[in-house]
Amino acid sequence: MKPLKEKMNDSESASLVDRVEKHIIDYIKENALRAGDSLPKELEFAEALGVSRTAIREAMLRLRTLGLIESRKHRGMVILEPDLVHNFEKMLDPALIDVKRLSNLFELRLMLEVGMADFVFARKTAKQLKELEDIVKNSEEQRCDSFNFYLEEEKQFHGKLYEMAGNDLLKNFQNVFMPIFQYVHDLNRYQTAYILPEGSKQISHRDLLEELKQGTPASFRELMREHLNPHYSKVLGISC
């Protein structure tokens, strides 16, 4: 294992704790430490870097907050496999994010849902199609104008598609995107309603389900794009 770095350069512009945090992360990377490996003790870091144990402790606390390390009995600080989505969830509170970033996140959701068609088709199962059928039937039977019901229907249907794509990270991101979706949707609720082009119809979840059963990845992707047209229209400011 490589030794701890020598004392830090006081001329660096970052704060002391920022620099300590960077040195600890550099130590982890340079020694190729993985989940389950232990870090040196606070005192070892403090002596090697020429700083107080308080600075080391504060830097360690930051890394614990990020889910990169945790304290274990008789072992000290141990490396963890970071939970990326959990960290996103803690930061992505719509009330704390400016409108531009909220819009960017909303656009990201649209990109993902149009782009995941090939994965959904390649990994779908009969059981998942049946579950999707149940979701659609339930929404058809309970159709109402409630905005809360609409959001719940969106979450169930699109959440199932995320699951069918077979990517755990993508599936977990659904929990991140839905509050963003609701917040951005709320901002636009009282704007001019989306007007369908003449001769066309709004693509429903039923339409998407039938295409998923009988169509192709390309046809499903095209239909999903049409389904999301009202959102694209608002985001891009054009008639889709």
Enumerate the domain spans of the chain: 16-82, 85-236
Question: Quick one: 196 exposed, middle or buried, by C-beta within 10 A (0-12, 13-18, 19+)?
Answer: middle
CB atoms within 10 A of CB 50: 11
| Statement: 85-236 belongs to CATH 3.40.50.2300 | no
38: DSSP letter: B
Residue 37 confidence (pLDDT) above 90: yes
The residue-averaged pLDDT of 89-107 equals: 76
Residue 239 and residue 176: Cα distance in Å, rounded? 28
Assess contact for 205 and 123: CB atoms under 8 A: no
Please name which of 64, 65, 44, 42 lies closest in space to residue 55, comparing C-alpha atoms. 42
Give pLDDT tens digits for 118-150: 999 999 999 999 999 999 998 887 765 554 556
Average pLDDT, the chain: 82
Which segments of the chain are extended strands (E)? 69-72, 76-79
Task: Give bridge partners of residue 78 from the DSSP assignment.
Answer: 38, 70
Please provide the CATH number assigned to the domain covering 16-82.
1.10.10.10
Segment 184-191 shows an average pLDDT of 58
